[in-house]
Structure 1
Amino acid sequence: MLADADGTAYASLRRRPVDRAERYALGKKLRARVPRKSLGDWAPPAGRPDPVQQIMDSHEGRVGRLVPIRVGRMVASPYGFLRGTAVVMAEDVARLPATGITPVICGDAHLGNFGFYASPERDLVIDLNDFDEAHPGGWEWDLRRLAASIWVAGRANSMSEEHCAEAVRTCVAAYREEVRFLADQPLLSRSFGRIDVDRLADESSAALRQEIVHAARRARHRTSDRAVPRFTTEVAGRRRIVEESPLITRVSEAEAELIGEALDEYLHTLAPHWRRVLGGYTIVDIAHKVVGVGSVGLRAYVALLEGSSADDVVFLQLKQARRSVLARYVHGESAWHAHQGQRVVEYQQALQTVSDPLLGLT
């Protein structure tokens, strides 16, 4: 079947993979085994794990004093709850009918994990921007989480059930059409395709186009130099990150030293050119910063670096990586990755058409 077609051929330039026509034929055969209508069915199975207990279990290993913040963000709204429950939805979607085609997926492809960011050429593009759970898995898993998040977000914004349903249908249709388009493209072309602001605006309605313009303008303002006045202050002639306890807190000198050592190790995971560029900067301050919903309680830091002058600054974000919530449904308790940071970096580069050149691990 198609799920087995991507074997050793992709590890050698001397062996031809399954050609396009045969892959189409294999894909059509899957429809008999997994009818498309079956992909829309769901009912709580007998013996389904208690979602509350799953969430409580996911708090193990987090910073205890921050867990109440995570819970507070989740109970604030149904959409907040959805954002923090990738572990619950992984259990649900992994039990549903699936084709068995398992590319690298985001693992947490809800609506809020798409956003604008700048490419190395400083163009503004939109793509996935969270890869904590990225892992090989069923493509259906990502699409189901995205569709569910659209419906829940619609309800949160007082949309009717009819409008929510239409939004989901539009999303799934666009997904289908894009996959169909990419299937006929040369292999390299697929990896260069991206959605920038201009393309997104051109393909949107007039009302949505205005929202895109506003969102893009805000995104362009989220740069290190613009963040300096808001997030830093000068103390005894030295720039420091402003504390906003419990969300932004200064780390101890001992912890800062360990993080500094980790950043030196990170430097050597960058491409040589970027290693030399970033190596011209010096750490001037480090703080712990609470981010997101699902990540609250994990260790996440922001480091302020200064370059050739006091105005030449860069913020680096460091984020703890844990085992993906998808892993147990793909390969059980066995280990595929010796380093979870390596998993996140590798799969982020696989999923994004344009990745941050300063993306690395330690």
Structure 2
Amino acid sequence: MAGQRVKHPSVEERAAAGKERRERTPVSSHTAWVPAPDRPDPVALLEEQNRTRERDLVPVRHGRMLVSPFTFYRGAAKIMATDLMDTPRAGLATQLCGDAHLDNFGVFASPERNLLFDLTDFDETLPGPFEYDVKRLSTSFTIAARNNAFTHDETRDVTLAAVRAYREAMAVFAQMRTLDIWYARLSAEQLMEALDLAVASQKGKALKKARSAAITARENVAKAHTRDSLQALSKLAERVDGKYRIVSQPPIVIPLRELGVSYGMSADELDHVIRQQFRSYRASLPDDRRHLLERFELVDIARKVVGVGSVGTRTFIALLQGRDQHDPLFLQVKEASRSVLEAHLPKSRFSQPGERVVRGQRMMQAASDIFLGWTKGSRDDRYLYWRQLRDMKGSAVVEGMQPLGMTLYADACGWTLARAHARSGDPVAIAAYLGKSDRFDRSITDFSRRYADQNERDYRSFADAVRAGRLEAITGI
């Protein structure tokens, strides 16, 4: 069977294509966004998602989204995906993260044990218009800045910084050799160096705040270095009769031995199903990784609640043991369903949603988890993907950021998103479309302000639905 023929247009042809798209869809067309007249009820969209989620965890999800418009936005990817359907598109596709809000970036260890900064969540990944990710990211900065009580000007400047960093980085990637783009990455140490330079430029009270932010950032990076399976063992496991098992901490952590009734199986039946899935997952790994994983024995498994938007999907942690009890490995097992973007964009070419997530993650990240793989669930409509639970993973504390810190974080996220898009899309065409001026930056920032206003209205509707009893919410978990 012949393979698909790949076209290789010249750099000049690629740039011309981007400029032609700019004529067809001007960068100014992203301004003045208004919701569609027939916009669906946002609460109904969340209820639709809840139908396939764990019933006892849906109120926990609602409780986490109820904290603020910022946490609501984190769980509202489906709502925004519906709104983005009718927004202007240049027709330049990339692999999308699908949920590129600022809390889905963080640090983790590369296979070479270097601490990298990158996108970290790919549950909604799918090929599509690059603008979708840019708008999701920029709006998250507008909402986060408002949540931190920034002034109007500070909020605008932070949002502009994220979009400008994306545009300027794409311009650089457009000039780079193909392999140099693929190898490009942002280390935690580079982030700290940029932060130190920014602190040195401050004076007076601003300098004091900047130094405090730098200390917090370095503490977070140092903490990430300690987050591994040994640390997880001390937090999540206990020794019983000389063997480790996962501690029961309902409703956040519920071990397999207590889950059988919930799934209509005995503990032994559930254990058999899990071990079958574990073997299937191992088969999805490259030979060398599968050989490595076979040195570990599956010891225990538990359901564990994570995040905001993911709450209610089936998410587990698995405890494995290597040479002895002091050689643990924790894996995270997350349910994968159809991307929220698939309702409006072409469906994934992968029939298995877990494979869709894994393939998309490998395409966008500078380096991916060595144990990233997928498997089918025990039912026909359930799919899973697997990865390490803790591998020097860490994230920024956005709620405590000051304008300087959030601006630097916006720079890092904008650059990182551009790098991810440049790996899968055409950086030359996208850079030509974006242009050299700040018109695209200002246009997207205008969109972000307007969408942040809509997000606040949606949040109020959501809170009203909770108060009226239409939705159940459990707070504080």
| TM-score normalised by length of structure 2 | 0.71
Is 1:132–1:344's contact at 8 Å kept on the other side of the alignment?
A: yes
Match of 2:15 in 1: 24
Q: 1:220 is aligned with what amino acid?
A: H
Output aligned runs, 1:202-217, within 5 Å: 202-204=193-195, 205-206=198-199, 207=210, 209-217=214-222
Mapped contact 1:104–1:135 kept (Cα < 8 A) = yes
Counterpart of 1:230 (choices 232, 235, 243) is 235
Of 278, 281, 284, 1:266 maps to 281
Q: Supply the distance in 2 between the matched residues of 1:194 and 1:335 (Cα, whole angstroms).
A: 27
Find out whether 1:181 has 2:172 as its counterpart.
Answer: yes
Structure 1: runs of 5 or more not aligned = 1-9
- Counterparts of 1:281-360 in structure 2 under 5 Å? 281-331=296-346, 336-360=349-373
2: distance between equivalents of 1:320 and 1:329?
Answer: 21
Deviation at 1:136, TM superposition (A): 0.7
**2:388 maps to which residue?**
none
Are residues 1:248 and 2:248 paired?
no
Question: Which amino acid in 2 is paired with 1:313?
Answer: P
Matching of residues 66-85 of structure 1 within 5 Å = 66-85=57-76
Could you tell me how far apart the structure 1 residues matched to 2:136 and 2:168 are? 19
Residue 78 of structure 1: CA displacement? 0.8
Alignment counterpart, residue 48 of structure 1, candidates 33, 36, 39: 39
Instruction: State the 1:106 CA deviation.
Output: 0.3
* Aligned residue number for residue 90 of structure 1: 81
Q: Distance in 2 between matches of 1:120 and 1:11?
A: 32
1:209 Cα shift? 4.3
**Could you report, residue by residue, the CA deviation over 1:302-351 in whole angstroms, capped at 9, with x for unpaired residues?**
000011011000000100100000112112xx663210001000000001
Name the CA distance, whole Å, in 1 between partners of 2:154 and 2:216: 18
Displacement of 1:212 after TM fit?
3.1
Q: Helix, strand or coil for the counterpart of 1:103?
A: strand
Cα distance in 1 for partners of 2:348, 2:137 equals 27
Give the RMSD, CA atoms, in angstroms: 1.4
Kept in 1: contact 2:348–2:356 (CA 8 A): no
> Structure 1 residues 22, 211: closer, same or farther in 2, change over 3 A?
farther
Q: Distance in 1 between matches of 2:244 and 2:7?
A: 57
Deviation at 1:11?
4.4
- Secondary structure at the aligned position of 2:319 is classed as strand
- Counterparts of 1:211 and 1:29, CA distance in 2: 46
- Give the C-alpha shift of residue 298 in structure 1: 0.6
2:104 to 104, 113, 121: 113
Structure 1: how far apart are the matches of 2:242 and 2:40? 55
TM-aligned CA deviation for residue 173 of structure 1? 0.6
Matches of 1:292 and 1:16 in 2, distance apart? 41
Q: Which amino acid aligns with 1:79?
A: F
Stretches (4+) displaced over 4 A: none
Q: CA deviation at 1:145?
A: 0.7
CA deviation vs aligned residue, 1:258-310 (integer Å, no higher than 9, x gap): 11211111111112111111101101110000111111111111000011011
Shift of 1:49: 0.6
For residues 183-202 of structure 1, what are the alpha-carbon distances to aligned partners after superposition, in whole Å with 9 as ceiling and x for unaligned?
A: 11111111110100122222
Amino acid at match of 2:317: V
The answer to whether structure 1 residue 61 and structure 2 residue 52 are counterparts is yes
Change in 2 beyond 3 A, CA 1:75/1:279 = same
Where relative contact order (Cα < 8 A, 6+ residues apart) is larger, the structure is 2
Query: 2:225 is matched with which residue?
Result: 220
Conserved in 2, the CA contact under 8 Å of 1:197 and 1:212?
A: no
Gaps spanning 5+ residues in structure 2: where? 200-209, 261-266, 376-477
Distance of 1:67 and 1:16 partners within structure 2: 47
- Aligned-residue sequence identity (percent) comes to 37
What is the distance in 1 between the residues matched to 2:304 and 2:271? 14
